[in-house]
Structure 1
């Protein structure tokens, strides 16, 4: 069977099963240490995301204090760009990131071609 988190094959005893969707995952993939018993209420990450949260009307609203409230007539806090982070610095970072991504793609294509060539040479032997 395959782990639903990483997609690698695993033995049934290596993983944990979600009681809601019956999918199996490696313990390491869902961050459950070896030897720890899984609670019956445990859900895999996918099921946990899909489960709606309870609406608890008694939970106080956090973050509303005198420091976070903007009074009428006051200015909003400045954005990072307005605080001195220049747009040209952001553009430079994006350009560098795109170049790294382009290089990584090229390395991957070269590696894939090498593996294809190697496989063909082995088949011809």
Structure 2
């Protein structure tokens, strides 16, 4: 049982997708594969990045004369609810204590429509958390089954060990009785019996 290269959780062999180039294994949900059958020459994201891009000369290239206006001033970037301006994200990452106020200030500056989208984003995060919790429950159930199997195996090994000890004791007892019988004065009778 290895660990997923995406999320780091343990993998069940039946549930993993393996890279054909490296020994990496992934959960299908971690790599965005929804189909039940994965391509036999599937590559993990790390290996896929290392493959050089091919030359596609058929791709059109637009220049400034194609109707695209080039401005010297940066245009205002409108952030969607899932993405925040880079300055806010950087500030939140550098100082953990100011992360909550920075995000709340950003949320207050959003238009009402974006606030609704932010609520949808929170609902999406809760749904993702529930899915992760469900996956963890499945993993825990598999772990319990494996532990029960291991416990049964250890119990059977212990029983076998006890039987071997009893058999050795009986063998030693039999050999001890034989040596006593042979040493007796009327050993001829006992030797014939044995």
TM class by shorter-chain length? 0.5 to 0.7
SS of 2:48's equivalent?
helix
Structure having the higher helix fraction is 2
Seen in structure 2, the aligned counterparts of structure 1 residues 63 and 19 have a Cα distance that, compared at 3 Å, is same
| Cα displacement (A) at 1:7 | 0.9
Seen in structure 2, the aligned counterparts of structure 1 residues 84 and 18 have a Cα distance that, compared at 3 Å, is closer
Seen in structure 2, the aligned counterparts of structure 1 residues 62 and 96 have a Cα distance that, compared at 3 Å, is closer
Question: Is structure 2 residue 102 aligned with structure 1 residue 103?
Answer: no
SS of 2:66's equivalent?
coil
The 2-side partners of 1:53 and 1:97 are apart by: 31
The 2-side partners of 1:96 and 1:38 are apart by: 36
Q: TM-score, normalised by structure 1?
A: 0.55
1:59 matched to which residue of 2?
58
CA radius of gyration, larger in: 2
> Comparing both chains, which one has the higher relative contact order based on Cα–Cα distances under 8 Å and sequence gaps of 6 or more?
1
The 2-side partners of 1:36 and 1:54 are apart by: 29
Cα deviation, 1:84-117, whole Å, max 9, x if unaligned, reads: 89xxxxxxx9479636842278xxxxxxxxxxxx
Seen in structure 2, the aligned counterparts of structure 1 residues 94 and 60 have a Cα distance that, compared at 3 Å, is closer
Match of 2:71 among 65, 68, 77: 77
Which ranges in structure 2 are unaligned for 5 or more consecutive residues?
78-85, 100-194
The 2-side partners of 1:43 and 1:96 are apart by: 31
1:45 matched to which residue of 2?
45
Cα deviation, 1:42-88, whole Å, max 9, x if unaligned, reads: 211111111111123x323322353138xxxxxx51322xx689xxx
Aligned length: 88
Which segments of structure 1 move beyond 3 Å, counting only runs of 4 or more?
A: 93-97
Q: What's the C-alpha RMSD, in Å, of the aligned pairs?
A: 3.2
Q: TM-score, normalised by structure 2?
A: 0.37
Which ranges in structure 1 are unaligned for 5 or more consecutive residues?
70-75, 86-92, 106-125
